[in-house]
Amino acid sequence: MPVVRFPMQPYPTSWYRVADSTDLVHGQIRRMHYFGRDLIAYRTLAGEVRVADAHCPHLGADLGPGRIEGDEVVCPFHGWRFDATGSCVEIPYAKKIPGEAKLRSYQVAEFDGVVAVYYDELERNPDWSVPPMTGGEDERQWTPFARKVWQIRTHVQDIVENGPDVAHQVVVHNAVDIPEMEYEIDGVTIAGTMIGKYDFPGGPAGGVRVVGHFSNIGLGITNIRLTDHLDGVEISRQLQLCRTPIDGILVEASIAQRTKSLGDIGMADAMNEKIVQATWEDFEKDIPIWENKIYRSLPSRTEFNRGEKPAVLCQGEGAIVKFRNWSRQFYTDAECGV
């Protein structure tokens, strides 16, 4: 019997990053592929971002090679026009517009230089949002965000579960001991603190003490504020981890990071370049594990594990159970192996 890697649907409900704000300018259509769907994105005259399915409801033409006129998308095949809500507003050769002539459009939010869409397989509207990570600070004291993007053969659930799986920090990420973690659940958010010591290459003997305040908002976005305590100096960092399903096989993961200046922004830029490189290399240690593991359900969800044995957990791993129980709210399929 073939192994089923993931006993849950590939596209859980959440807000997901699909572009950076700088990727979109008025007058241009950006072609994308997420959630197993071809999508288009563009800016209106007012500067708002719109995201919709990429294929015309008429005969299925790809709207990516089309054009923007005002706030309307014009199909390159027959000239059908769609407004910012996805509704067809003009057919050049017909007086009556069919009621079904409408693109599926998606709720969009812009924050922290990110364009995010709300994806729900039942097409429900969101009743929650993602709070921005930035704001309230003197932006002149921070370096610009540096971002790197990966395509990984895994599921968003596996990536986000790295948080409560503190034991792997010692084996994979050079933690001196298993970090301490406390968190609280509030609806669609898990927020808390993780404190540990890490043996960084070239770092002091005994490791660097790292205090992290994290917030998982749904399964798509995690905001983290880190403070590295190094030889009496505190280095403040902000990270945003985004995970977006591309299809049933690949996930697009990205990390954006910036560092607070200690008084010399030029020095901060140089320091941030080294820190982000180390962060990306550390993240990449997980990738071969994610790409080759299977997902084992909790014993309580064995009936949905599609023939595979459940996970065998040990003392001190209760955070994984609580995290999975929280995660289940984002899956519309009742037969969910999370």
Q: Evaluate whether residue 125 is within a structural domain.
A: no
Instruction: Please say whether the beta carbons of 105 and 85 come within 8 A.
Output: yes
Tokens 């995970």: give the residue. 243
Q: Are residues 70 and 205 in the same domain?
A: no
Residue 46 in any domain: the answer is yes
158 within domain boundaries: yes
Distance CA 156, CA 6 (A): 10
- Specify the pLDDT at position 200: 80
* Neighbour tally for 27: CB within 10 Å: 11
Render each residue's pLDDT in the chain as its tens digit; 338 residues: 456 799 999 999 999 999 999 999 999 999 999 999 999 999 999 999 999 999 999 999 999 999 999 999 999 999 999 999 999 999 999 999 999 999 999 999 999 999 999 999 999 999 999 999 987 788 888 999 999 999 999 999 999 999 999 999 999 999 999 999 999 999 999 999 999 999 987 778 888 999 999 999 999 999 999 999 988 889 999 999 999 999 999 999 999 999 998 877 777 788 888 889 999 999 999 999 999 999 999 999 999 988 889 999 999 999 999 999 999 999 999 889 99
Residues 284 and 307 in one domain: no
Among 119, 147, 179, the domain-final residue is 119
Token pair in block for residue 75: 């199909």
Where residue 176 falls (left for φ over 0; alpha for ψ -120 to 50; beta otherwise) is alpha
Taking every pair of C-alpha atoms in the chain, what is the biggest distance, in angstroms?
Answer: 77
Same domain, residue pair 172 and 284: yes
CATH of residue 23? 2.102.10.10
Q: Are 285 and 172 in contact (CB under 8 A)?
A: yes
Q: Is residue 9 part of a domain?
A: no
Q: Is residue 47 in a domain?
A: yes
pLDDT at res. 268: 77
Domain range holding 319?
Answer: 299-330
Give pLDDT, residue 170.
96
Tokens of 230: 């190094």
User: Are 60 and 162 part of one and the same domain?
Assistant: no
Q: Which of 304, 254, 262 is nearest to 17 (CA)?
A: 254
Cα(334)–Cα(268) distance, integer angstroms: 49
The C-alpha atoms of residue 143 and residue 238 are separated, in whole angstroms, by 10
| 272 in a structural domain | yes
CA-nearest of 236, 247, 50 to 137 is 236
In the prediction, which pLDDT does 159 show? Answer: 98
Strand partners, 256: 147, 240
Tell me, yes or no, whether 279 and 321 share the same domain.
Answer: no
d(CA 219, CA 190): 10
Question: pTM for the full model?
Answer: 0.95
pLDDT of residue 1: 46
Is residue 130 in some structural domain?
A: no
Last-in-domain residue among 119, 151, 180: 119
Looking at the fold, whether 219 and 273 belong to one and the same domain comes out as yes
Report if residue 104 sits inside a domain. yes
- Do 285 and 319 lie in a common domain? no
Tell me how many domains the chain contains: 3
| 49 shares its domain with 154 | no
Same domain, 65 and 146: no
d(CA 244, CA 111): 16
Last residue of a domain, one of 66, 89, 119: 119
* pLDDT, position 2: 53
